[in-house]
Chains A and B, each alone.
Chain A
Amino acid sequence: MSITTRDAALLDTAAPERGPTLKGMEIATAVLLMAVGGVAIQDALRIGAGWGADGPQSGYFPFWLGLILVGASLGNLVAALRAGRRAAGGGAPLFASWGQLGLVAQVFVPTAVFVAVIPFAGIYLSSAVLVAFFMIRFGGFRWASSLPAGAAAALVAFAVFEIWFLVALPKGPVETWLGY
């Protein structure tokens, strides 16, 4: 009934939890946001961040935003480094354990595949497969009940969007074959 009884059991047996530390992730995020700020500043300087003939140039506003972002991230970086020093005694707090990240990856990877396949297979077929896959993999359902359930979900979506609301969603070879 719950998502992954099997995986949860695996989690319990893995004795001391390991994984990326909170401190490491804080630092990485701060550095990454600093880089975003840097890129924004660079782009702003490219298109002009000063005062043009007709008022502030296009880069004026983004330049200052980028600068503040770099400053704020610097604040976060310092805070992360300091917090690490304080908690140096015990075990460093984790961002998430590898087991937890594994669970997330088990959902993320199929979702990424789902997104990647949409342009080729259309959204309905991909959705049907996604629902069926989740039911088999995480819900412990049998093929015989999962496949019709996936197809039903896609059909309901088709009826609601394509027919009722007249919203055209990406379609693939199956829909073409059926005449849509």
Chain B
Amino acid sequence: MEEISLLMQGFAVALQWENLLLMVAGIVLGVLIGVLPGLGGANGIAILLPLTFALPPVSAIILLSCIYWGALFGGAITSILFNIPGEPWSVATTFDGYPMAQQGRAAEALTAAFTSSFVGALIAVVMITFVAPLVAEFALKFGPPEFFAVMFLSFACFVGLSRGSPWKALAAMMFGFLLAGVGMDGVTGQLRMTFGSLELMRGIDFLVVVIGLFGLSEIFQSIEEGLRFKGQSARITLGTVLRTWAELPRHAWLFLRSSLIGCWMGITPAGATPASFMSYGVARRMSKDPSSFGTGRVEGVVAPETAAHAAGTSALLPMLSLGVPGSPTAAVLLGGLIMWGLQPGPMLFVEQKDFVWGLIASMYLGNVVGLVIVLAAVPWFAAILRVPFAIIAAIILMVCAIGAYTVNSAEFDVVLMLVFGVIGYVMKKLDYPLAPLVLALVLGDRTEESFRQALLLSEGSLAIFFSNWLSGGIMAAGLVMLFWPMFGRLMAGRAKPA
């Protein structure tokens, strides 16, 4: 087992004391980000990314990925105690988590949520450890047509699996691709869509867009809803933890099923949020007593949390092995790789062994550290929400502005962030998905590059994408995903003739 020895080397990297310190700092920051509405995983990492230039890449990614695990943990705290999902993927956790807290079982719900998160993440990391190297090795055979086909498949999944209108997913995605095209064409040096503006020549940086779309718009939305924090308080004692843990093995099958749903939804870029809803829905449907869901069932906390963490973690698999991220947060991390001077894609596993395996090892350690920290420190994290929203909102606005500025040291970017804050607010209200926009923005250049290289090989014939079984097969799968909503409608139409 070559993976095991590589993983051990990875642990040697991750266990260096400065990396351990960054891990703890990242988890604590991440939980804070997860608890605060208006600061999400993607957005928090985007703001902090420019600050990691001074660090070696492996330390930087350990810090940033631990922020992500922390944010995944943190979302559950506010869902259960305050009935306010700190993150979109913890919405489903409120259904049974908050009723449990109202019944005075907050500590039990939190323990169950954190433990489920841990189990979901662990299963996903084990899968990454053994599957990612295989995928990367396989992908080494890829040429430009195959790479374009993989991108096509992952974008087609967005359209096919979107819960809302597929047209909206498509429109958001194309908008993202066009934004990526602004600036200088990397192949010919031609200026595109800059309309004579010097500021636009630099291109539109995805970090600025992420900060606006996910940060500012969130503040606008929270204000509109008139946020008022009224919460249950909780302190987790060792007794509750042990008692809850003794109960949990009964739900082994639920853990496994939710993890599988999560892993699947994380690799196909559906993401943690749909995974949590789907897992909750399946748990409810397969329960002997579906009507009791929503009244404070521990299964209603276990199912979404396990799936959300499994999805959030496995979203890193395609990011590491193919260079195609499975979630907005993974997309921001991918942007980080490029900024640190690493070339994303399958070669990463060959050329940057220390980086890849250090990161994978830090996922194991980070989740253990995270579980301990959140179990021990829930009351302190919950206390954050007692700080008046007026102060939190202003500080988040300030941090967003600083984050947007530091990307290129450009004041224009702060203005751009404000514009995308408004765009994000409107898009969210109208149910346009933001994830495809961000992914298209991050992957736009590379998608176009592989598309153009493929066409150069074939001298302009699109048939190249179907010229061999590999790219043809992936393209065909992509086409099926793209037209999935239509198949779905046809089947539904046949089942229920109007």
A residues contacting B by CB (< 8 A) are: 1-4, 7-8, 11, 22, 25-26, 29-30, 33, 36-37, 39-40, 43-44, 47, 51, 54-62, 65-66, 68-69, 72-73, 75-76, 79, 95-96, 100-101, 103-104, 106-108, 111-112, 114-115, 118-119, 123, 127, 130-131, 133-135, 137-139, 141, 149, 153, 157, 161, 165-170
Query: Interface of chain B, helix or strand or loop or mixed?
Result: helix
- Chain B window 37-61, contacts with chain A (Cβ cutoff 8 Å), 1 for yes, 0 for no: 0000000000000110010000000
Distance between Cα atoms of A121 and B191 in the complex (Å): 33
Contact A25 B193 (CB under 8 A): no
Q: Which of A8, A56, A96, A130 contacts B397 (CB 8 A)?
A: A130
- Of the listed stretches B21-29, B103-111, B424-432, chain A binds B424-432
Is the pair A57, B188 in contact by a Cβ cutoff of 8 Å? yes
Q: A59 to chain B: closest CB distance in Å?
A: 7
Interface of chain A: mostly helix, strand, loop or mixed: helix
Whether, in the assembled complex, B376 has its beta carbon less than 8 Å from a beta carbon of chain A, the answer is no
Q: What is the minimal beta-carbon distance from A56 to any residue of chain B, in angstroms?
A: 5
Residue numbers of B with Cβ under 8 A of A are: 50-51, 54, 165, 167-168, 170-171, 174-175, 177-178, 181, 185, 187-188, 190-193, 195, 216, 219-220, 223-224, 226-229, 388-391, 393-395, 397-399, 401-402, 405-406, 409, 411, 414-415, 417-418, 421-422, 425-427, 429-430, 432, 448, 451-452, 455-456, 460
B393 and A104 contact, CB distance less than 8 A: no
B47 to chain A, nearest CB (A): 11
Given the complex, which residues of A lie within 8 Å of B402, measured CB to CB?
123, 127, 157, 161, 169
Contacts A47-B190, A72-B170, A167-B406 given; indicate if A134 touches B455 (C-beta within 8 A): no
Q: Are B451 and A119 in contact (CB under 8 A)?
A: no
Query: Would B50 and A167 count as touching, CB distance under 8 A?
Result: yes
Residue from B177, B398, B429, B455 in contact with A56 in the complex, judged by beta carbons closer than 8 Å: B455
Given known pairs A96-B429, A138-B389, A165-B54, the reply for A4 and B226 (CB within 8 Å) is yes
Most buried by A among B185, B398, B456: B398
Partner of A76, one of B171, B190, B397: B171
List residues of chain A with CB within 8 A of the CB of B195.
43
* Closest beta carbon of chain B to A141's beta carbon, Å: 8
Instruction: Verify B401–A58 contact, CB threshold 8 A.
Output: no
**A123 in contact with B391 given A58-B190, A65-B174, A170-B411 (CB within 8 Å):** no
- Take A58-B185, A134-B391 as given contacts and tell me if A112 and B418 are in contact as well, using a CB distance cutoff of 8 Å: yes
By a CB distance below 8 angstroms, the chain A residues around B399 are 157
Task: Point out the residue from A29, A58, A169 that lies within 8 Å of B192, measured CB to CB.
Answer: A58
| From B388, B451, B455, contact of A139 by CB (8 A) | B388
Evaluate contact between A58 and B229: CB separation under 8 angstroms.
no
Closest to B48 in A: A165
Contact A135/B226 with A65-B178, A72-B171, A76-B167 known, Cβ cut-off 8 Å? no
Complex Cα spacing A94 to B192, Å: 38
User: Closest CB of chain A to B407's CB: distance in Å?
Assistant: 11
A-B contact pairs, 5 of them (CB 8 A): A62-B192, A115-B414, A118-B411, A131-B395, A169-B402
Interface-central residue, B167, B406, B421, B425, by most chain A CB under 10 Å: B167
Q: Are B174 and A68 in contact (CB under 8 A)?
A: yes
| B421–chain A nearest beta-carbon distance, Å | 8
Q: How far is the CA of A49 from the CA of B411 in the complex (A)?
A: 33
Given A66-B178, A115-B401: A3 in contact with B51 (beta carbons within 8 A): no
Bound-state CA distance A2–B54 (Å) is: 39
**Cβ-neighbour of B224 out of A2, A25, A100, A135 (below 8 A):** A100
Establish whether residues A79 and B165, one from each chain, have CB atoms under 8 Å apart when the complex forms.
yes
Closest chain-B Cβ to A105's Cβ sits at a distance in Å of 9
Does B177 lie within 8 Å of A51, measured CB to CB?
no
Closest 8 CB pairs of A and B: A139-B390, A75-B167, A134-B394, A2-B228, A69-B174, A138-B390, A58-B190, A72-B170
Give the chain B neighbours of A138 by CB distance below 8 A: 389-390, 393
* Smallest beta-carbon distance A110→chain B, Å: 9
